[in-house]
Amino acid sequence: MKTLNVAIIGQGRSGRDIHGAFFRGPLNTKFKIVAVVDALEERRIRAKEEYGCDVYADYHELFGRTDIDLVVNATFSHMHSAVAIDLLEHGFNVIVEKPFAKTYEDGQRMVLAAKKAGKMLNAFQQSRFAPYFKEIKKILSSGVLGQIMQISISFSGHARRWDWQTSKSFAGGNVRNTGPHPLDQALDLLGFPEQLDVFSKLDRTNMLGDAENYAKIILTSPDKPLIDLEISSCNAYAPYTYVISAANGSLRATTSKIEYKYFDPDKAPEQKQILEPLFTADRTPAYCGEKLEWVEEVVEVKGDAFNEAVQEYYDMIYANLTEGKEMAVCPCQVLKQLKVIDTVHAQNPLSVREEEA
């Protein structure tokens, strides 16, 4: 089996603690890190020790190398587009950390650059392969819940923040930072529809930057369930990641446990509409009610979005680069996500704080 050589640009939380951790971990059997780029000397020193690879202070130093099969672009969010296009134009296949780009237009430029260069371009949307999400999709596809009415997704908690992710000029904020994961899942559940209506509210509180740390996004599409998405840093009661309301039952899930209950319509008591007042046997007013036989299921989820999901994502990348196989995650899907993000920010123009101007 051919081993693909990888360069990582950036050794921050994503470049080192997600991508780097996978490449140097036991689940990786197909990739080898041959170069790391980071502007900070201490990170370069650490990378050389951890990976035993070449290290550079500037990604331009990669240009001219012909032994690199893939570059992971884990730079600051606002740099993703420009760096990716530069890499593509110099002949590299590129994976871009989320957010794929700051705007839909920037994303389009990246896709066009990849097409012109004849190179692979993809967004690191490993949450599509998260074990809990795959299990939820399996339950939904089984049909036991019946018609799905609403899917509530919450990637929320309570935390104060003061780093670069709080700055609009750095493309920070909950929607661009955390949002790509649940948005990708939401759009996947909707089938990446052409017609999509978006209602949203952004706000910020208890933070030092000028980007949002609260987001509520409602997505609707014809003949599809409503998606209620919350990405909040203001919820101290850890909510369920998923709550699904359906005709025959409901589902609730965290990333480690899924519970769902449903009844079989064929086994339910036969009813017909009654327009006259309802009474009990002794002729007192009655409430419309019946006894349903509920089936209750519990699934303990094995694996998570930072191990098994990362492996499955990179298996997809490997199969594309070595066998030309079509990728389940593709830039055309991510462009739809960027349209939603642009719409959300257009609907909620937050002021720029004086210290950020």
The DSSP H or E segment spanning 33 is strand 31-37
Domain end position, chosen among 123, 157, 178? 123
Please report the pLDDT score of residue 351 as a whole number.
87
Residue 328 lies in a domain: no
Q: Does 214 share its domain with 351?
A: yes
Q: What is the pLDDT of residues 134-158, one digit of tens each?
A: 999 999 999 999 999 999 999 999 9
For 241-273, what is each residue's pLDDT tens digit?
A: 999 999 999 999 999 999 999 999 999 999 999
- The whole-number average pLDDT for the span 343-355 is 86
Arithmetic mean of pLDDT, 285-293 = 92
pLDDT of residue 207: 81
Q: Are residues 135 and 107 in the same domain?
A: no
The tally of domains found in the chain comes to 2
For 113, the domain range is 4-123
Final residue of a structural domain among 100, 123, 146? 123
* Residue 23 belongs to a domain: yes
pLDDT confidence tier of residue 355, bands split at 50, 70 and 90: low
Residues 173 and 301 occupy one common structural domain: yes
Q: Rounded mean pLDDT of the chain?
A: 96
Cite the DSSP H helix spans in 30-130: 41-51, 80-89, 104-117
CATH number, position 61: 3.40.50.720
Whether 146 and 245 share a structural domain = yes
Is 114 among the domain residues? yes
Mean pLDDT along residues 340-351: 96
Q: What is the CA radius of gyration of the chain?
A: 24
Structural tokens at position 220: 């609707």
Alpha-carbon torsion angle 219, 221, 225, 230, nearest 10:
-10
Looking at the domain assignment, is residue 278 inside a domain? no
**Together in a domain, 165 and 119:** no
Q: Does residue 315 form part of some domain?
A: no
216: left (phi over 0), alpha (psi -120 to 50) or beta: beta
Same domain, 114 and 197: no
Q: Report in angstroms the alpha-carbon separations of 200 from 212, 230, 348.
A: 12, 10, 8
Query: pLDDT over 90 for what percent of the chain?
Result: 95
Asked if residue 333 is part of any domain, the answer here is: no
Q: Which DSSP helix (H) or strand (E) runs through 183?
A: helix 180-190
In a domain, 172, yes or no: yes
The predicted pLDDT at position 208 comes to: 86
Last residue of a domain, one of 68, 102, 123: 123
Q: Stretch 312-323: mean pLDDT, rounded?
A: 98
| 28 and 177 co-located in one domain | no
The 10s digit of each residue's pLDDT in 26-41 is: 999 999 999 999 999 9
Name the β-bridge partners of 89: none
Give 35-64 as a DSSP string: EEE-S-HHHHHHHHHHH--EEESSGGGGTT
Whether 225 has a pLDDT exceeding 80, the answer reads yes
User: Which whole number is the average pLDDT over 298-319?
Assistant: 97
63 with 137, same domain: the answer is no
- Specify whether 50 is located in the same domain as 132: no
Structure confidence by residue, pLDDT tens digits, 44-103: 999 999 999 999 999 999 999 999 999 999 999 999 999 999 999 999 999 999 999 999
- Amino acid at position 200, single letter: S
**In this structure, are 67 and 100 located in the same domain?**
yes
SS3 334: helix
| 124/104 Cα distance (integer angstroms) | 17
